Amino acid sequence: MVQDYNAYTATDRQVWNALYSRQRENLSDKADPQYLGCLDQLLPVMNADKIPNYDDLNAVLTEATGWSIHVVPGLIPVEEFFELLAQRKFPASTWLRKPEELDYLEEPDMFHDIFGHIPLLLDPQYAQFMEDFGKHGVANLKKSHVIRQLQNLYWFTIEFGVCEDPTKIYGAGIISSFGETNHIFDPETTIYPFELEKVLGNSFINSEIQGHYYRIDGLDTVYALDLKAIA
């Protein structure tokens, strides 16, 4: 599959502009500085003014860390997901949500995939962690309990990860969601200290804003996680 860039409509362009502009401002004091720095590096090829062209993004990504975007129709089987990560290919859809879905979307669209996930792939440590994550998944595809644990870990770090003191967000599912971002900073939101065993055993739901999160020291602590110990 490829991105059919000419297929985007005026409504699509308005949706991208609204999503990018609103969330970039919203994240200015809420997102991890490492993410914001990477997002700013992408300004020449990803900004509010136009829907990003994957060829342009790939040129920057490949030069920086050897990663590229692999176009998929939507959610893919976990086996294919791990295999792509192991090859430094990030699966991303090309469709955009509707104007009435700006605040929250159950199934990930290209704003989630691209705005949420792609910037940190410019960082060499993050890029290596993601490749290692994919390779460990591929090596354990026949071990259902390991795959389940890896999915839980991915969910509560890469997708919905929170850093502590002061609270900053880095997970793509929060980064790309206006509603979820603001939910994190609600005093009544439950954020537990990050304990690997609890995270590995904590199943998740993807149909609504999360009921709780896990706060880790920082992205360096994520990179230091011993994936091989999950066996």
d(CA 36, CA 141): 34
Both tokens of residue 152?
A: 């839980």
In the chain, the domains with their CATH numbers are: 5-229 (1.10.800.10)
pLDDT of 90: 98
pLDDT for 140? 97
DSSP state of 10: H
Q: How far apart are CA 36 and CA 41, in angstroms?
A: 9
Residue range 184-192: average pLDDT? Answer: 94
Number of Cβ within 10 Å of residue 58's Cβ equals: 17
Give 199-228 pLDDT, tens digit per residue.
999 988 777 788 899 999 999 999 999 999
- Report pTM: 0.95
Rounded to an integer, what distance in angstroms lies between the CA atom of residue 125 and that of residue 68?
A: 16
Query: In whole angstroms, what is the distance from residue 110 CA to residue 67 CA?
Result: 17
The pLDDT of residue 104 is above 90:
no
User: Which of these, 73, 101, 92, 72, lies nearest to 11 by C-alpha position?
Assistant: 101
Find the mean pLDDT for residues 100-113.
Answer: 88
Over residues 158-187, mean pLDDT: 93
Whole-number percent of the chain with pLDDT over 90: 90
